[in-house]
Amino acid sequence: MDRLWPRGVSKSSAHIDLWLKEVAPSTDLRKWFGHEPSKWKEFRERYFAELRNNSDALKQITEKTQRGVVTLVYSAKDEKHNQALALKEYLEK
């Protein structure tokens, strides 16, 4: 999940039912991380702390996962170190 909508993609053509940008990492955390793999472990720890402190948004996405399939999208080029994977890990715990 990203707080920023990806450039070049219109919301209507994306066919996304719900965009919960509130569960994305904060702007400060995203900028700090900068998709540097060496910061991945600490990024996850900081992001998980943000999620624990964001009960309203987390409740929304948790309810969606209990009702069916949820697809997490992201715009990062790194397929192994991105917020969608971290969020997936958090939700699976």
Report the SS3 class of residue 79.
Answer: coil
The yes-or-no verdict on residue 69 having pLDDT over 70 is yes
Ramachandran region, residue 68 (left: φ > 0; alpha: ψ -120 to 50; beta: rest): left
Instruction: Give me the pLDDT at residue 27, please.
Output: 92
Q: Where are the domains of the chain?
A: 11-92
Report the SS3 class of residue 66.
Answer: helix
The yes-or-no verdict on residue 1 having pLDDT over 60 is no
The yes-or-no verdict on residue 71 having pLDDT over 90 is no
pTM of the model: 0.85
Instruction: Dump pLDDT digits (tens) for 12-55.
Output: 887 787 888 889 999 999 999 999 999 999 999 999 999 999 88
Instruction: Give me the pLDDT at residue 76, please.
Output: 84
Give how far the C-alpha of residue 77 lies from the chain's centroid of Cα atoms, to the nearest Å: 14
Which is more confident, 37 or 2?
37
